Amino acid sequence: MERDQLADFLRRRREAMRPAEVGIADGPRRRTTGLRREEVAALAGMSVDYVVRLEQGRSSQPSVQLLGALARALRLSDDERDHLFHLAGHRPPPADGVARLARAGLIRMLDLLGDTPALVLSDLGEALAQNRVALLLMGDHTGLSGDRRYVAYRWFTDPAVRAVTPPEEQERHGRRLVADLRAAAGRRSGDSTVSGLVDRLQAASADFRRLWAEHEVAVRRADRKTLLHPRVGRLLMDCETLVTPDQGQQLLVLTPADAETRERLELLRVIGIEEFPTGATGPTAR
């Protein structure tokens, strides 16, 4: 770990950031053109004291998860993110496979979408990044671990996840999840991460085994779904999925499909963040 170089890099990236890039008003009282340490801490979900110690070269070695949060907070490019990992004494996330961070360009698109719920997903349905309104809508899915990272695994093994979808839509939604996973498995033939996930799903769920055996294949592009939110009730959402050229990551954007949903979504923004049990009671990410 190169503490001094890491400290210098983090400090310079923070000072180079424009507050508007992360949705912070650039008021007349700001003494610096970059971000404040407390703003980086809030964006990364860590203490201000730890950010200070990192920038002063006094910290312990940051974890991979913490580095990922800093990379997202500072909107680092892929090359900058890899450099950050090297300075901290870690191997950067691979360019492909499931253990990677959301692309910097997709993170910036999340910022630009503002009050529209949006999130970045891996091709296996892991939530890699969510904007604030997506957090309000479905809770935080970015910190899940193990098989619960994958939306299909949560759907077929956790009844609480299915409960936020009306019963009459659950068969269709599950079928689409399986068809999308089948497409990913075809693209990543021989990948033990995908085959292992499929094997564990088949062992855990009879419904998944039934749908997997039908061999339906479909990459999700657009959809309309109903979410039963615990605070504002029924939401009818149009879902558009934008896929990167290599099909490794997706930007999912959710917009209200009718006036009533638009009003309820606005109410949700006013109410603030619901305390969801991690990954359980919020609507699924896809």
34-49 residue pLDDT tens:
888 888 888 888 889 9
- Residue 167 is encoded by which pair of tokens? 């019963």
Would you say residue 112 has pLDDT above 60? yes
Would you say residue 273 has pLDDT above 80? no
234: phi then psi, degrees, rounded to nearest 5: -75, 130
Q: What H or E segment, with its residue span, contains residue 65? A: helix 64-73
Q: Torsion angle, CA of 139/143/145/149, rounded to 10 degrees?
A: 50
Would you say residue 25 has pLDDT above 70? no
Q: d(Cα 100, Cα 163) in Å, to the nearest integer?
A: 30
Q: d(Cα 283, Cα 286) in Å, to the nearest integer?
A: 8
Confidence (pTM):
0.66
Q: Is 129 helix (H, G, I), strand (E, B) or coil?
A: strand
Q: Torsion angle, CA of 26/5/142/235, rounded to 10 degrees?
A: 10
Q: d(Cα 97, Cα 71) in Å, to the nearest integer?
A: 19
The answer to whether 21 touches 74, Cβ cutoff 8 Å, is no
How much of the chain, in percent, has pLDDT values that exceed 90? 37
Q: What pLDDT shows up at residue 34?
A: 84
Residue 149 vs residue 79, higher pLDDT: 149
What single letter denotes the amino acid at residue 71?
Answer: A
For 121-148, the pLDDT digits (tens) are 998 999 988 888 898 898 888 878 889 9
For 179-225, the pLDDT digits (tens) are 999 999 988 888 888 999 999 999 999 999 999 999 988 877 788 99
What integer is the mean pLDDT of 258-280?
75
Distance of CA 133 to the CA centre of its chain: 12
Residue 49 vs residue 97, higher pLDDT: 49
Q: What pLDDT shows up at residue 94?
A: 59
Radius of gyration of the chain (CA): 20
Residue 97 vs residue 150, higher pLDDT: 150
Of the chain, the end-to-end C-alpha distance in Å amounts to 38
Q: What pLDDT shows up at residue 200?
A: 96
Q: What pLDDT shows up at residue 272?
A: 74
> Maximum Cα–Cα distance for the chain, whole Å?
62
